[in-house]
Structure 1
């Protein structure tokens, strides 16, 4: 039984849907409502003086969209780009606006009830504790649930969401 079939059988009014994806050996999830589309990775226009995790920008149907390599942002060393590498285009409500994030691969859409989400343990390093929504479990597998707006906030990319001339 797939994760989607399992989730739909156990769905309750309190279930939230997450897009799960892989970065390295770990599985992460973000709120499905923030996802606009999923695209294959393609090189983008570089932006001068940008942080190493900002790969550049693309023109997406007239909107200039900054592309952030989430793998680099989360501290994964030496990310590789292959046929499975994708860009998830997000439409975020905060000051960030539309942004693309590069991940190793997209896995599934997962519906999780509040009973399937546990608080994330407080550990040092990588991701700030307030940027984690919790740890979801599906059939014994863990999914690290990210508050993507908090992870991307404060990196100064909102100014690029303008219409292309």
Structure 2
């Protein structure tokens, strides 16, 4: 990599790592080690193709998605942990916002990797069902049914999330994940 490209890559990593790590954390269910591995692998792939990449952030996000898809397609999908019941209560002050973020994080970790990935793509990344289907290599119906089941499971595991948005759908998951 030439010096100008290396500088450009360093600037990208310094400027966008925090946002991309939050996405990787959501995709990995809050497992910091797995999220860091996801991001590191994506950045390594981006570094190797840096001079040919037109939209670096879109490229890195795509690599993150695809790596996560590969993880949930494995026969033995890694560590999924059950956690204790989420804490009760949500409100408008900062402490309650932090509590809500913790509740959402715990609930997301209890979903399967596939369900969590679909919810992150649909609500955190705000992608249309057709876009999610294309990214994940499945039908729109699969996206709809998996998202529906995942939201139902979230509601059952953490009923306090119903105050999160009218109708119980997490319309602003991006605000919670930040």
On whether the aligned pair clears a TM of 0.5, the verdict is: no
Greater relative CO (CA pairs within 8 A, separation 6+) = 1
TM-score category (smaller protein): under 0.3
TM-score normalised by the chain length of structure 2: 0.26
Structure of higher CA gyration radius: 2
TM-score normalised by the chain length of structure 1: 0.27
Looking at secondary structure, tell me which structure has more strand per residue: 1
